[in-house]
Amino acid sequence: MVVIMVTMASRSTAQRPNGSTQGKICQFKLVLLGESAVGKSSLVLRFVKGQFHEYQESTIGAAFLTQTVCLDDTTVKFEIWDTAGQERYHSLAPMYYRGAQAAIVVYDITNQDTFVRATTWVKELQRQASPNIVIALAGNKSDLGNKRVVEFDEAQTYADENGLLFMETSAKTAMNVNDIFLAIAKKLPKNEQTGSAGTSGQGRRLVEVEGQKTTTSNCCK
């Protein structure tokens, strides 16, 4: 069973529905990469706040957001770090994806250049980011099918070759937005001991949930 919690605000402590599922909370850092104006922040806003161009007053920024997803017995808390997409800030990207457990590389299906940029991002991540990083490729603006430039098959083939998750998404219609985050959550290693040596901080467990006081090395049941 997979449930996406529709908790609106970013919370420091994850909430669970009625405490029905007993499990642990894993926190993951997810970094968003992609050319500017491909809709990175729209995607996140849709995922976290369910908004698209109808911003509430409380939403002051879309650069740093958190969202919690419930997966079986595990609560996955995403900490989503947006990055500046402009070419000139490209060299700064390693500072963002350092220590990230997941990355979504976003391109615009109506713009071939953004797809080319996306492939360079993927290459860079595979080369420089932590080896266990989960990379997803998102072809955004799928609602603009009539202006499509990047074919679905082309991207799918590329993703398969490089072992990436791939989905075409639309922040406007909310198509596949939750799905791509869920797919990442599923693929992420929920083993807390992996790389717990402080700085890398892979899946660092933050809160021990009631009923599971003792620390176990493998919580994925």
Partner 1 sequence: MYSIKTPTLRIDEADLKCKNGCGYFGNEEWQGYCSKCHREHLQKQRAQREHARIHESDSSSKTTVHGFYKFEEKKRQQEKKTKLLKLSVFRKTATKTQGFSEIWQELVKDNPELDKVKSETRDLLVQIAKTPAEKDVRKCIHSFVNNILQMKDIKSVEELSELTQNFYQVFAKRMENSPNYADVSPETKDRLLDYIERYTMTLLYRILFCPPSTTDEDKDLAIQNRIRQLNWVSGKNLECRIHETSSDVRELVYTSITDLLNMDSVKAPQEKLACVVHCCRNIFVLLQQSVGGPASADEFLPALIFIVLKANPARLKSNINFITRFCNASRLMTGEGGYYFTNLCCAVSFIENLTAESLNMPQKDFDAYMSGARVPASTWESALTMCESIHLMCEHITLLDELKAKNLEIIAESDELKKKMQQFPEKVEAEVDAAITRTPLIITPSQRIPTNLDCVDAESYQLPPPIIPQVQNIDIYPQTLNDETNETLTSHVGDYNGPSIEDCITPSPTFDFPAFDSDGGLHGSKGDDDTSLISLDTQCDLTAEESYLQDRDASDSLLDESQASGTNLPSPLKPVCSLREDYHGFSIQGSNIPTIPCNTGDLSHNTSDLEADNYSGYFHNI
Site residues, partner 1 (CB under 8 A): 12, 27, 29, 32, 36-37, 40-41, 45, 53, 55, 59-64, 79, 81-86, 88-89, 91-92, 95-96, 99, 198-199, 201, 204, 207-208, 215
* Residue 157 vs 196, nearer CB to partner 1: 196
CB of 97 to partner 1, least distance (A): 10
Pairing of the two strands 64-71 and 74-82:
antiparallel
C-alpha 101/C-alpha 29 separation (Å) is: 6
CB of 55 to partner 1, least distance (A): 5
* Residue 84 vs 144, nearer CB to partner 1: 84
* Residue 148 vs 205, nearer CB to partner 1: 205
C-alpha 177/C-alpha 44 separation (Å) is: 8
CB of 187 to partner 1, least distance (A): 20
Instruction: Retrieve residue 213's tokens.
Output: 């006081």
Kindly give, in sequence order, each residue whose CB lies less than 8 Å from that of residue 133, ignoring residues fewer than 6 positions away: 97, 100, 101, 102, 103, 125
CB of 176 to partner 1, least distance (A): 20
Q: Are 162 and 134 in contact (CB under 8 A)?
A: no
